[in-house]
Amino acid sequence: MRFVTVVLVLVAPLLCFACKSKKEAQADPKRETVKTQDILYSQLDITENFGDNLKLKADDWIKTSPLNATMENPESMGLPSLHADENKVYDVAVGLSKLREKISIPSDGVYCPICHIANIDINKLHTPCPKCKRKLLKFGWD
């Protein structure tokens, strides 16, 4: 199943970040800590197929789909409710993007979790979305 593969591939590197000891976290009050059981996804959207990014150019945008629309109880998977407002959805996506930005994945691009579009050009990270003007977030293709 595609979602299981995505979760395992994307979450494994993030768990290393989240598994710092309590003692280390207390030593540096600026360090963010995350419960590993709370991390199930590193982004809120997906594309239709693996490899969708391979045919795109830096100026091309592709439609994405919200993961929370693919399941009955998205909150149990750490995703926003289907009824969450745009600000809540974007806030959750920003938090996930911050985690994803801590690891280098050469194929990553950017996306807007509100307009549901993605682009392969990582240099667009934190620039305005061409539709809603919110900052673009980090997006994984694999």
pLDDT digits (tens, 9 = 90+) for 107-139: 999 999 999 999 999 999 999 999 999 999 999
Rounded to two decimals, the pTM is 0.74
| Residue (of 101, 116, 110, 103) closest to 137 by Cα position | 110
pLDDT of residue 64: 98
Tell me the backbone φ, ψ of residue 111, rounded to 5 degrees: -155, 165
Determine the pLDDT at residue 37: 47
Look at 73 and 40; give whichever has higher pLDDT: 73
CA dihedral 63, 69, 70, 76 (to 10 degrees): 130
Contact 11, 42 (CB under 8 A): yes
Please determine, for residue 68, whether its predicted confidence score (pLDDT) is greater than 80.
yes
Secondary structure of residue 54 in the 3-state scheme:
helix
14 contact partners, CB below 8 Å, separation of at least 6:
39, 42, 99, 100, 102, 103
